[in-house]
Structure 1
Amino acid sequence: MATYCVAFGSNLSAMWILVANGWMQSPVGSEFNFETMRMEMTSFMDLWLNPIAQSKFLHTLSAGYVSAAFFVLAISSYYLLKGRDIGFAKRSFSVASTFGIISVVSVLIVGDESGYEIGYAQPTKLAAMEGEWHTQPAPAAWNMIIVANQAEQKNDFSLQIPYVAGIIVTRSFDKQFSGLIDLQERNLERVRSGIQAYALLQQLRAEKKANGQASEETKAKFDKVQKDLGFGLLLKRYTDNVVDATEEQIKQAAADTIPKVAPTFWSFRVMMATGGAILLLMLLAFVQNVRKTVGSRPLLLKALLWGLPLPWIGIECGWFLAEYGRQPWAIYEVLPVGVSASKLAPGDLWFSIGLICALYTLFLVVEMYLTFKYGRLGPSALKTGRYYFEQSSK
Structure 2
Amino acid sequence: MIDMTVVELSRLQFALTAMYHFLFVPLTLGLSFLMAIMESVYVMTGRDVWRRMTLFWGVLFGINFAMGVATGIVMEFQFGMNWAYYSHYVGDIFGAPLAIEGLMAFFLEATFIGLFFFGWHRLSKVQHLVITWLVALGANFSALWILVANGWMQNPVGAVFNPDTMRMEITDFMAVIFNPVAQAKFVHTVSAGYVTGAIFVMSVSAFYLLRGRHRDIARRSIAVAASFGLASALCVVVLGDESGYAATEHQKMKLAAIEAMWHTEAAPAGFTVIGLPDQAGQHNRFEVKIPWLMGLIATRSLDGEIPGILELVERAEHRIRGGQLAYAALKRLREDRTDTAARAAFDAHWSDLGHALLLKRYREDILAASEAEISQAALDTVPRVAPLFWTFRIMAGIGFYLIAFFAYAFWRTTRHRVEHGRRFLWIALWSLPLPWIAIECGWFVAEYGRQPWAVEGVLPTFYAASGIALKDILISLGGFVVIYTGLAIVAAKLMLKAIGKGPDVLAPPAGDGAPAAVDDRVPDREGLPLLAADDLDPTPAARG
Q: Which range, TM-score by smaller chain? A: over 0.9
Alpha-carbon shift at residue 344 of structure 1 (Å): 3.9
The answer for the alignment partner of 2:347 in structure 1 is 223
- 1:288 correspondence with 2:417: no
Q: Secondary structure at the match of 2:376?
A: helix
Query: Is contact 1:58-1:110 (8 Å) kept?
Result: yes
Alpha-carbon shift at residue 364 of structure 1 (Å): 1.7
Which 10-residue stretch deviates more, 242-251 or 155-164? Answer: 155-164
Instruction: Map 1:288-307; keep pairs closer than 5 Å.
Output: 288-307=412-431
Which structure would you say has the larger RCO, counting Cα contacts within 8 Å and 6 or more residues apart?
Answer: 2
The answer for the alignment partner of 1:333 in structure 2 is 457
Amino acid at match of 1:181: L
Instruction: Map 1:174-189; keep pairs closer than 5 Å.
Output: 174-189=303-318
- 1:364 correspondence with 2:493: no
- 1:253 correspondence with 2:377: yes
Alpha-carbon shift at residue 159 of structure 1 (Å): 1.2
Alpha-carbon shift at residue 352 of structure 1 (Å): 4.4
Query: Is contact 2:332-2:339 (8 Å) kept?
Result: no
Which residue of 186, 189, 206 corresponds with 1:60? 189
Query: Is contact 1:131-1:261 (8 Å) kept?
Result: yes
Q: What is the total number of aligned residue pairs between the two structures?
A: 382
How many angstroms apart in 1 are the aligned matches of 2:305 and 2:137?
A: 42
How many angstroms apart in 2 are the aligned matches of 1:373 and 1:246?
A: 63
Alpha-carbon shift at residue 355 of structure 1 (Å): 4.4
Instruction: Map 1:345-356; keep pairs closer than 5 Å.
Output: 345-346=469-470, 348-356=472-480
Instruction: Map 1:267-278; keep pairs closer than 5 Å.
Output: 267-278=391-402
Alpha-carbon shift at residue 191 of structure 1 (Å): 1.2
Amino acid at match of 1:320: F
Query: Is contact 2:325-2:345 (8 Å) kept?
Result: no
How many angstroms apart in 2 are the aligned matches of 1:348 and 1:6?
A: 39
TM-score, scaled relative to structure 1 = 0.93
Alpha-carbon shift at residue 94 of structure 1 (Å): 0.6
Alpha-carbon shift at residue 356 of structure 1 (Å): 3.9
Q: Secondary structure at the match of 1:32?
A: strand
How many angstroms apart in 2 are the aligned matches of 1:296 and 1:41?
A: 59
The answer for the alignment partner of 1:380 in structure 2 is 504
The answer for the alignment partner of 2:68 in structure 1 is none
- 1:30 correspondence with 2:30: no
The answer for the alignment partner of 2:71 in structure 1 is none
Query: Is contact 1:24-1:330 (8 Å) kept?
Result: yes
Amino acid at match of 1:312: W
The answer for the alignment partner of 2:200 in structure 1 is 71
Q: Secondary structure at the match of 1:220?
A: helix
- 1:15 correspondence with 2:139: no
How many angstroms apart in 2 are the aligned matches of 1:351 and 1:23?
A: 31
How many angstroms apart in 2 are the aligned matches of 1:344 and 1:12?
A: 35
- 1:162 correspondence with 2:291: yes
The answer for the alignment partner of 2:170 in structure 1 is 41
Which residue of 335, 342, 353 corresponds with 2:466? 342
Q: Deviations over 1:119-146 (max 9, x none)?
A: 1100000111111111111221110112
Query: Is contact 1:63-1:107 (8 Å) kept?
Result: yes
Q: Secondary structure at the match of 2:194?
A: helix
Alpha-carbon shift at residue 188 of structure 1 (Å): 1.3
Q: Secondary structure at the match of 1:63?
A: helix
Q: Secondary structure at the match of 2:286?
A: strand
Q: Secondary structure at the match of 1:75?
A: helix
Which 10-residue stretch deviates more, 167-176 or 127-136? Answer: 167-176
Q: Give unpaired runs (5+ residues) of structure 2.
A: 1-111, 117-131, 517-544
Amino acid at match of 1:234: L
- 1:107 correspondence with 2:236: yes
How many angstroms apart in 2 are the aligned matches of 1:352 and 1:9?
A: 32
Q: Deviations over 1:12-41 (max 9, x none)?
A: 221111110000000001110112221111
- 1:123 correspondence with 2:247: no
Which residue of 207, 220, 226 corresponds with 1:91? 220
Query: Is contact 1:205-1:214 (8 Å) kept?
Result: no
Alpha-carbon shift at residue 166 of structure 1 (Å): 1.1
Which residue of 445, 465, 468 corresponds with 1:321? 445
Amino acid at match of 1:130: E
Query: Is contact 1:74-1:305 (8 Å) kept?
Result: yes
Describe the shift of the 1:352–1:11 C-alpha distance in structure 2 as closer, same or farther (beyond 3 A): farther
Query: Is contact 1:33-1:40 (8 Å) kept?
Result: yes
RMSD over aligned Cα atoms: 1.6
How many angstroms apart in 1 are the aligned matches of 2:275 and 2:333?
A: 48
Which 10-residue stretch deviates more, 125-134 or 194-203? Answer: 194-203
TM-score, scaled relative to structure 2 = 0.68
Query: Is contact 1:129-1:268 (8 Å) kept?
Result: yes
How many angstroms apart in 2 are the aligned matches of 1:352 and 1:45?
A: 37
The answer for the alignment partner of 1:392 in structure 2 is none
Which 10-residue stretch deviates more, 278-287 or 198-207? Answer: 198-207
Alpha-carbon shift at residue 277 of structure 1 (Å): 1.3
Query: Is contact 1:23-1:47 (8 Å) kept?
Result: yes
How many angstroms apart in 1 are the aligned matches of 2:162 and 2:481?
A: 36
How many angstroms apart in 1 are the aligned matches of 2:351 and 2:373?
A: 20
Alpha-carbon shift at residue 360 of structure 1 (Å): 3.0
Which residue of 361, 367, 372 corresponds with 1:243? 367
Describe the shift of the 1:224–1:139 C-alpha distance in structure 2 as closer, same or farther (beyond 3 A): same
Q: Deviations over 1:190-216 (max 9, x none)?
A: 111111111111121122xxxxx2312
How many angstroms apart in 1 are the aligned matches of 2:198 and 2:180?
A: 27
Alpha-carbon shift at residue 181 of structure 1 (Å): 0.8
Alpha-carbon shift at residue 354 of structure 1 (Å): 4.3
How many angstroms apart in 2 are the aligned matches of 1:174 and 1:162?
A: 13
The answer for the alignment partner of 2:403 in structure 1 is 279
Q: Give unpaired runs (5+ residues) of structure 1.
A: 208-212, 388-394
How many angstroms apart in 1 are the aligned matches of 2:366 and 2:153?
A: 24
